[in-house]
Structure 1
Amino acid sequence: MISMQNRSALTVVTTFPDKPLKVLSSKSSSKSSASLRARQSGRRSSFSSSSFRIVRAAGAGGKGEEEKEENSVELYAGIAGLLSCAVVSYSLFTLKQTGCGLPAGPGGLVGAIEGVSYLGVAGLLGASAYKKTTTGSGLPAGPFALLGAAEGVAFLLLVAGLYVGVAQLLEYGYIPNAVPVEGGKCA
């Protein structure tokens, strides 16, 4: 609802996405109706509307709600990305020190978290590469710059993973399986 006030009359305009513009006025004039139709269509009116004052504008919140939703998605993606990067960092450190990744843990929970984290980092790298090739820039920074930080750390982990993989081959002579097998070196 958009409420416009004149010194001597009150004009109320209601707009809904699927309904036409309605003008309710205690003192209707062709000037105010023309001005309101022009404002709804995005054009300027042919007369000065200095006697009107916008009191409250609602119904144009569709764009704001989409922006809020996009920000919350970026926030959650940034948090999940940074958590995934932390797990992958620890996994690469463990792999470099011991020659094996993280242990499976109770019920395979730690191994599952490790695997999902590697997939999360790979997803960040893929999304960033796709966005970079289509738009020329990487992922947006997001709220609190978390998504941008996760993207940067993911690229650092890519380099670290390549280093650890080569070091693993040189020091131990093998790269452990993603899923431990019976009789394997990291079972």
Structure 2
Amino acid sequence: MDALILAGAGIGYLSGSVPYGLLLTRAAGLGDIRQIGSGNIGATNVLRTGNKKVAAATLLLDALKGVVPVLVLTALWGREAGLVAGLGALLGHVFPVWLGFKGGKGVATGAGVLLAAAWWLGLACALLWLAMARITRISSASALTACAAAPVIALLAGDLPLAAFALVLAAVIIARHHENIRRLLAGTEPRIGEKKK
């Protein structure tokens, strides 16, 4: 079983490491997304190019690279393998080998992982993100709120393994937002659709 778990982590990592934001912006003739805005390869930064369709496609594909390995590995080898594959997908997105381990911040991929692992938890976090985004118009604040809430929601539902898993995901994503947190505290974090100053 340990070999299967390790294989699941590897499969998840390879799925997560595909830099869709970079590939799509280049294919659309928008240049290197790493030279735009925050330099991040995720959907929020892709939106700063002004191309909403490419941003939406990036969001969808980044979420799917979390969904697919969790569903496939859960079906093949059980829940534990699926969760490990989900963590691998998140780490692949955040630390992709193809980009020198400098990837995205993991929000869309993490959301996809949670949706596949427990649809009700993923849905709750997505709705919380949407509510916060509507109130604050700040993507990072919305993501941080949803991440922090995920393990609490799972714990309240009585699923301790899922709560622990969500806590690990949240820790990775929140750690990747350290610069955003500093800007939020300073009041300089850009709003959704704005270019980073």
Greater share of residues in strand? 1
Structure number with bigger Rg: 1
Pick 1 or 2: higher relative contact order, CA cutoff 8 A, min separation 6: 2
- Asked if Structure 1 and Structure 2 have the same fold, meaning a TM-score greater than 0.5 normalized by the shorter chain, the answer is no
Alignment TM-score, normalising by the size of structure 2: 0.29
